[in-house]
Structure 1
Amino acid sequence: MKNEDDQPVVLTHIDSNNGSRTSPVSLAEPFAANLNVVSQVDVPPNGGYGWVCTACVFLINAHTWGVNSAWGIFLSHYLQNSTFPGTSQFSYAIIGGLGIACACLVSPAVNVSMRLYGTTVTLTIGTILVFLSLFTASYASRIWHLFLSQAVCFGCGMGFTYIPATAVLPQWFSTRRSLAVGIAASGVGFGGVAYNLIAGAAAQSVGLPWTYRILALCSLAVNGVCSLLIRDRNKLVKPKQDAFDWRELGHIEVIFVIVWGFLSELGYVVLFYSLPHYATTIGLSQSQGSVAGALLNVGIGVGRPLVGWMSDRWGRINMAALMTASCGICCLALWVPAKDYGTLIAFALLAGFGAGNFWGTVSSVMAEVVGLQRLPTAFGVMMIVLASPTTFAEPIALEMTAVSGYKAAQIFVGFMFIGAAGSVWFLRSWKITEIEEKAKREEAGDFEWGLSRFHAGKAWLEPRKLIKRCRV
């Protein structure tokens, strides 16, 4: 049986993650058509074992990014005791940022490892590197020992654990994706609180070397178990896992995400590492500064699941733009005039909701705009670009503070977040244009059109789309 034009009928399945997929078949072959469509469509379970993976990614974040946040405790100890004579504050400041930069720079190697050896082996490599970095840092007797262990080795280990885990989680969810990613990302905040308290207490009681060893053993145990429990769905999703694909930089939507991340990191790293020290400059004690830093982590831990839940309800790109902008406004409205403990505490809690917004929502937003298949490659390209702001953000802030005082750094952080929100707002306009264009083509019968054929041109700059109310 054929249609009136004696042409095969084109069946199209619309998948929110990967765009439309077409299968030209004849109506005389309905059974074959059904088999063809089913074989091409991957529907995420939207839960099930995905919640186990969510818990594992939560713990991995707590035992990588959370452990990394304890660097502030070690930094304070090194500075107070002049552990490495002749070492400048710039050298100490760059260690924390360099660790995050190394986590970004290893993304091509992570993609190669994922393609050749799979998720479990890649996560295990990261687990071993994190353990070795912390364990060897306990024996550091020169500043370059810390650069190799605390910065380079730990950063590489963090990249080999965080990047695969982040790429796996969106594969398990559709309508609950942002909630799951938000819960997993909150491990950074809660882990930061826990390990700041653990590192602070341990450094007082057993000394810094044994503190490093305790963190090393904790991370080895937890990350090792999680590496074995996490499962990917690569056989169904079939993601691209190229080492590095510069062509992703030719997509305007990827550029918007990268600008969002670049500016957000310039603000986030400065805020994260500078807040405790700022407290001492306004006459507060070091313990009060530590509390402010801990509450910033609490805000991140509580805020990420809440933002994820709201993102699934009101749009992932919408919430990413709103929360990023709110952090910038909060910095200018609360941090700049904060001269007392109460105001600083209020700022730390509120800023936490938006400060960690980028890392808490980026995987969901990227899955929304590039699809699950392109997600690993596009994410890897973004990580490479983010290496520079994570490395130099805190040194830049220190120089600004030395020349003009903390107000210059505070204003800098505020405007970085506001600029980042502007990039997400343009991304939102691009996504609206994509949705409208897709609807027009399908209404006209162009069923072979897909996301890969979409080129917005300058249509996304129309004022109507920039201000349109839409769940995106």
Structure 2
Amino acid sequence: MTFGIFQEAYRTSSTLHGSKSSIGVIGTSMNGVMYLTIPILSTLLDNSRWATWRRIVALIGTCVSAAAFFAASYATQVWHLIVLQGVLSAVGGAMLYAPTTLLLDEWFRDGNRGFAYGVQLSCKNVVGTGCPFLVYGLLQTLGIRGTLRVWAAIVLATGLLGLAITPIKPSAQHRRRPTKIPWTFLKHRTFYVYALGNAIFSSGYGLPQTYLSAYADNVLHVSSILGALMIALFNAPGIISSVGFGVLSDKLAVSATNNTLISALGSALCVTLLWGLKSHQIPACLIAFSIGYGFFAGGYSATWAGWIKDMEREAAGSNEAIHTGMVYGLLNGARGVGYVVGGVAGVELLKVRPLGVAERWAYGTRYGPVILFTGVSALFGGWATGWKLCSKATRPWRVG
């Protein structure tokens, strides 16, 4: 959530060697690897055979992630950071995130799941709001190596404390699950529609997090502390929207497709009208983009609860079993695919020529291709709504 601050420090570091153009891969790899690992862990730990290992896996993951950040403090090459901070810490994060999400799903399976997911997801925005200033202050005071060591300690302490107070639902310990994992939801197109839209949206979502601070520095030539402020403003609105989109799903019965459309269309408009037009000349436009996009895009994940409800109804109508915790993990996997694709695309897009438009628009800067990619991915990330509208008159189909 705050990698943009680290990226600027890595880019200007005299002790870090290697291709500086690959630094952006570290941040997008962290998200991508974590989300790609989650579906594997969720599938295994949602099975009764391995369910009792959840807390142990989460404990190991916390230690692995903390150790990776500590080892990264000794890195001298960019590829060291890609392996340690970009991959290993992400695997540890997935080992913590997957088991605790499965526990959350069990506690709120009978109601208010969207609200619960929204509150959980808003926590990352709380971190993303406060930590830019913490990381900036640590980098200024302790440098890169000291900051990574402090962050390793924070990961270890908060992870262990969180697990110590996380309850396990008593009924879940004795509930019998079918030995065979129910994969029947893969026969229905609903899963593929939402998973594909999720992957497309996520391919652009990680780019502002990665490049917003650099854009503020290189294009607007503002101070580093203002770059940290941009990232904080990007994350703060998601605290409200993550909970808000969950409430829309649970309390106001807004359909999953409409919820998704609000998030995706709002995100696309913010990119197109605020980041893409005058943000390279008017700081207020970039601030407005950070707040607006942070609100609409930050709440996208909270719409997943509605998606799962759709799949539950579909399974019930076909008299099929479905493990919602595992499905949630697979949706995280689709997001991981998007993050990986977006991370690679972001590095390559910065190498191409600026778009052939007048320099009075931000599209004419070197970040123009990145801006366009972010806007298009946000727009097509809401394609599930269009598909739903077009398919009302057709019969539902199943694979196989």
Q: Same fold (TM over 0.5)?
A: yes
TM-score class, shorter-chain normalisation, is 0.7 to 0.9
SS at 1:294 equivalent = helix
- Larger CA Rg, structure 1 vs 2: 1
TM-fit CA distance, 1:188 = 0.9
2:60 maps to a residue whose letter is I
TM-fit CA distance, 1:98 = 1.5
Change in 2 beyond 3 A, CA 1:98/1:246: farther
Deviation string, structure 1 residues 131-157 (Cα, Å, up to 9, x no partner): 111121122233332122101111101
Change in 2 beyond 3 A, CA 1:238/1:155: farther
Hey, what does 2:220 align to over in structure 1? 283
2:72/2:148 contact within 8 Å kept? yes
SS at 2:372 equivalent = helix
> How large is the Cα RMSD of the aligned pairs?
2.8
Query: Aligned equivalents of 2:125 and 2:156: distance in 1?
Result: 19
2:239 maps to a residue whose letter is G
Unaligned runs of 5+ in 1: 1-68, 435-454, 459-472
1:415 has 2:353 as partner:
no
Deviation string, structure 1 residues 150-202 (Cα, Å, up to 9, x no partner): 01111101111222223332333344222222111111111012222111101
TM-fit CA distance, 1:341 = 0.9
Hey, what does 1:390 align to over in structure 2? 339
Query: Aligned equivalents of 2:106 and 2:174: distance in 1?
Result: 9
Hey, what does 1:344 align to over in structure 2? 286
Query: Aligned equivalents of 1:95 and 1:88: distance in 2?
Result: 11
Deviation string, structure 1 residues 272-317 (Cα, Å, up to 9, x no partner): 2122222234323133222111100112223211222223214251
Hey, what does 2:43 align to over in structure 1? 111
Q: Report which structure shows greater RCO (CA 8 Å, sep ≥6).
A: 2
Which residue of 348, 358, 361 corresponds with 2:303? 361
TM-fit CA distance, 1:423 = 1.8
Unaligned runs of 5+ in 2: 314-320, 355-365
TM-fit CA distance, 1:254 = 0.8
TM-fit CA distance, 1:395 = 3.2
Hey, what does 2:96 align to over in structure 1? 161
Hey, what does 1:274 align to over in structure 2? 211
1:178/1:364 contact within 8 Å kept? yes
Query: Aligned equivalents of 1:72 and 1:83: distance in 2?
Result: 19
TM-fit CA distance, 1:414 = 1.2
Deviation string, structure 1 residues 183-232 (Cα, Å, up to 9, x no partner): 11111111012222111101111222221122111221221122233234
Runs of 4+ deviating beyond 6 Å = 239-243
Change in 2 beyond 3 A, CA 1:248/1:137: farther
1:284/1:341 contact within 8 Å kept? no
SS at 1:118 equivalent = helix
**TM-score of the two chains, using structure 1 as the length reference:** 0.70
User: 1:57-456 counterparts in 2 under 5 A?
Assistant: 69-89=1-21, 91-106=22-37, 107-113=39-45, 115=47, 116=50, 117-173=52-108, 174-233=110-169, 234-235=172-173, 248-285=185-222, 286-312=224-250, 313-317=252-256, 318-337=258-277, 338=279, 339-370=281-312, 373-403=322-352, 404=354, 405-426=366-387, 456=396
Change in 2 beyond 3 A, CA 1:109/1:335: same
2:198/2:381 contact within 8 Å kept? yes
1:111/1:241 contact within 8 Å kept? no
- For this pair of structures, how many residues does the alignment match? 367
TM-fit CA distance, 1:348 = 0.7
Query: Aligned equivalents of 1:205 and 1:240: distance in 2?
Result: 55
Deviation string, structure 1 residues 222-252 (Cα, Å, up to 9, x no partner): 2112223323443477667978x87654321
Query: Aligned equivalents of 1:242 and 1:409: distance in 2?
Result: 44
